[in-house]
Each structure stands twice: as structure tokens, then as C-alpha cells.
Structure 1
């Protein structure tokens, strides 16, 4: 099948098919009569697999490695579990950091509601930020060097 047929079958754009082809995830052959790329049912399966893997957060290099193991008739499932477990832990940590940021933002907004606006006077830039106190836990984490400073 041609690019447009594969795209339609996988419910993606032809540009997506071309992208995955350039990335080496799809392996079309050239039609000698017209030099068009011809995709197989295996390419459709790989494209659908890649889309699902991307939805689960796998990167293109990881997907390429999974497909390479499968192509070599080795089960990629142990690698998938390991990568996914690590990625899930990273997402959990990001969620925790975002929750803490949201809480700081809410606290700052609450304290800023009663503060007047100020004009920079050479000694201040924005009093809202300069007069806001870091919560004790955020300040102690910064001092311990456990997290990068908020810039």
C-alpha cells in the first residue's frame, strides 16, 4: 500500500507515515515501476504499535529498540516493563513537584490579594515576589541542595 493508504488505515496523516519512515520504524520497499514506497501489513502493525507506545510515553529511540528486539525474535517485554517502571517513577516525581508548585502558587496568590501594587524604585523590582516568604519546607530543601533552585 502507498503512503496515503497506510495513513488512512492507521488513522494518521501521510506526514506521520513519512516521519516514522525517516526514523526507520517503517521499512517500505520501492516499487521499481514508479519508485513509490510500498508499505506492507507489517508496516501497518509497526505504525499502530509505535502510536500506542508514544501514547504510553515511550520515546522514539525506545520504540526503535523494542522493535529491534522483536525483529531479532527476542521478547522486548522485560525491557518494556523496566523502562515503563522507571518512567512511571519519573512521572510520579514530576506530579509531586507540580503539586508542590501549585500549592506555592495558591499561597502566593492568596497573600498577594491584599498587597498593593508597587512601582520599581531602584530598591525593589516587584514587591509581590520580593515580600513573599518561601514555605519552610521549600526553603530547607533549597538549602540542602536536594533540588535545583527555582529560577
Structure 2
């Protein structure tokens, strides 16, 4: 049987992470010592390494809990795993596209600002650099945000 600190060493995870996983129900102590120390098995170290691998792939702790629950009941979680990761890939593609558009706007703004002098706020303007971009966008047709 392993204490929290021993489990942390065996699973290559910080002790506070082990305690957090216990608190949210991802792992359960197998027992408890008289002094109140919770005890775990080497299976829990395997579980923690699995959790960390799943997090590395982008799964949330709730998704991991769902996946491990299937496994604990003797059911294959593989269909759920595929669906979750496929959905996450689609979400990431949208985010990447949005970030690329933002990057282009930022680079375009910086190029435009290189030619502009510094300004002093005058009560009608806070920073004419940003306001110059805003006025350019006002001239373009509006697109509904999704």
C-alpha cells in the first residue's frame, strides 16, 4: 500500500495533484492508516499516469472521469474517446483559424502604426492607433459573429 507521497513518486505526479484527483473522485483510497493517511495501490499509480496522458491529449478531467467510469464497469470507452477527440480536433481547427485571422489583423495594424506618430489623449481620443483600426473596420461590411 502507498501513501499519497509514495503514490506521487511512483506516478510521477506532484502530491497536490494526487490529492486533487482524490478530492474530485478520479482515484479512491484503498484504505486508511490509523494516523489518517490514505492508502493507495500501484493500480492507482497506473490510473494517475493514464489521467496525465489523457490530459496531455486535451481531454478534460470530466471527460477522463467518464472514460475511466466506463473502464471500471468493464465497458470499452474507446467509442467515446474517439468521439471526444474528433470533436476537440474540430474545435481546435476553428480556434486556430480565428487565431490566424487575429494574427493577420495584428500584423496589419502594426504595419499601419509604424507610419503614424504618437498621439496624446485629448478627451475625444484615448489612443489614435487603436481608434484608426476601429474606424477602418467601421467602413467594412459587418459580419455576424457565431
TM-score, length-scaled by structure 2? 0.90
Superposition RMSD in Å:
1.7
Q: How far off its partner does 1:31 sit? A: 3.1
Q: Which runs of 5+ in 2 are unaligned?
A: none
1:59-78 mapped onto 2 (5 Å cutoff): 59-78=60-79
- Evaluate the alpha carbon distance shift between residue 75 and residue 52 of structure 1 in structure 2; reply closer, same or farther with a 3 A threshold: same
Length-normalised TM-score, structure 1: 0.87
Residues 94 and 135 from structure 1, CA distance in 2 versus in 1: closer, same or farther, beyond 3 angstroms? farther
Gaps of 5+ in 1: none
Q: Which residue of 2 aligns with 1:125?
A: 126
Q: How does 1:33-52 map to 2 (within 5 A)?
A: 33-52=34-53
Tell whether the 8 Å contact from 2:33 to 2:39 is kept in structure 1 after alignment.
Answer: no
Q: 2:28 maps to what in 1?
A: 27
| Residue aligning to 2:143 | 144
Larger RCO (CA under 8 A, 6+ residues apart): 2
- Shift in Å at residue 46 of structure 1? 1.0
Change in CA separation of 1:13 and 1:32 when aligned onto 2, cut-off 3 Å: closer
> Which one of 105, 117, 137 corresponds to residue 134 of structure 1?
137
- Cα distance in structure 1, aligned partners of 2:75 and 2:113: 59
What is the distance in 1 between the residues matched to 2:61 and 2:123? 50
Q: Distance in 2 between matches of 1:14 and 1:32?
A: 18
Contact kept? 2:8, 2:14, Cα under 8 Å: yes
